[in-house]
Amino acid sequence: MKIILTGGAGYIGSHTSVQLIRNGYDIVIADNFSNSKPEALRRIEKLVGMSVPFYKIDIADKEALSELFEAEKPDCVIHFAGLKSVGESVRMPVEYYRNNIDTTLTLLETMKEYGCKKLIFSSSATVYGDPASVPITEDMPVGKCSNPYGRTKYFIEEILRDVSKADPTLSIVILRYFNPTGADESGLLCEDPNGIPNNLMPYIMKVAVGRLPRLSVFGNDYPTHDGTGVRDYIHVVDLADGHVAAVAYADSHEGVETINLGTGNGYSVLDVVHGFEKACGHEVPYVIAPRREGDIAECYASPDKAKALLNWEAKHNIDDMCRDSWNAISKNPDGYPAD
């Protein structure tokens, strides 16, 4: 089966590319490098020991995408391409709606034209907003997102449900990721955020290698075991394997299915800090700072549906995530080199 990965040069896409190839799939990567670098492709090729077809295109560019489908005739698409910074989406909502929704619409039109029926979409636990209870199951209410980025994911999910209703022969899997972190154990692939990171693990990594002075822990008065925010961190290689399982599922089912990809375990900010200190062998300086607007106390997945439908479950624990994140940042303290 041939699979196009839009946004395949990014953090999750690059790890998924490797896992798909290791599982025998033919892949084609399409990316415009708006948040990634060509070096990611070279690292993927080094890891799998073969060349990987690549198209530098904007997924919203209809003509370019049609040329790609014409040339490659894919059976399935995994749609990672999108802008993903929560803070940036608050400052630049139009750019976020334009990029995330346009890429999806152009992709759906092109898939229809070329008879491509299988789609896996990168959604997010952010669509649950502030959940009434944890663990979060897929049937809990969605849509009360605290920022434009989250709303793009919610709107796209709704679009995909409408499209599936109109054509029940499509096979669409919406994956709601919890908090992806870690890296391939080789240390060749890494998360390479532009500028100062927003997310916890990339921030801790930059502090641990001395590129930033200290972490600000956003709030220690939440109703959690140590007062700091609790999240479901999931190793990116487990997440990538979840996509491999979703592709197999899409190949044998029709309709639309929404599935959480998380571990079912919640860790606090301080749990992650201390886990990372164990991995890197020195202290990670931090200060307690005010709560960050829009943050919730606790968020972790029920992984039961993923286990039942995909026969998939996360294998790595928080120590593995800290070890592999430390390995990756130690080998790439300034991210990937630019071309």
List residues with catalytic annotation.
149
Report the length, in residues, of the chain: 339
The option from ligand NAD, ligand UFG, none interacting with 72 (CB < 5 to 8 A, set by class) reads none
The option from ligand UFG, ligand NAD, none interacting with 215 (CB < 5 to 8 A, set by class) reads ligand UFG
Chain residues that interact with ligand UFG, rule: CB under 6 A: 86, 124-126, 177-179, 198-200, 203, 215-218, 229, 231, 269, 292, 295
> Which CB atom, from 36 or from 124, has the smaller least distance to ligand UFG?
124
Minimum Å distance from CB 114 to ligand NAD?
A: 18
The option from ligand UFG, ligand NAD, none interacting with 302 (CB < 5 to 8 A, set by class) reads none
> Which CB atom, from 33 or from 283, has the smaller least distance to ligand NAD?
33
**Nearest position to ligand NAD, beta carbon:** 10
Minimum Å distance from CB 282 to ligand NAD?
A: 26
Minimum Å distance from CB 257 to ligand NAD?
A: 17
The option from ligand UFG, ligand NAD, none interacting with 60 (CB < 5 to 8 A, set by class) reads ligand NAD
**Contact between 107 and 121 (Cβ < 8 Å):** no
Chain residues that interact with ligand NAD, rule: CB under 6 A: 7, 9-13, 31-36, 58-60, 80-84, 99, 103, 122, 124, 177, 180
> Which CB atom, from 221 or from 334, has the smaller least distance to ligand NAD?
334
CA angle 306, 311, 316 (to 5 degrees): 75
- First-last CA distance in the chain: 32
264 Rama sector, left if φ>0, alpha if ψ -120 to 50, beta otherwise: left
> Which CB atom, from 6 or from 100, has the smaller least distance to ligand UFG?
100
315 vs 77: CA distance, rounded Å: 25
The option from ligand UFG, ligand NAD, none interacting with 316 (CB < 5 to 8 A, set by class) reads none
Minimum Å distance from CB 6 to ligand NAD?
A: 6
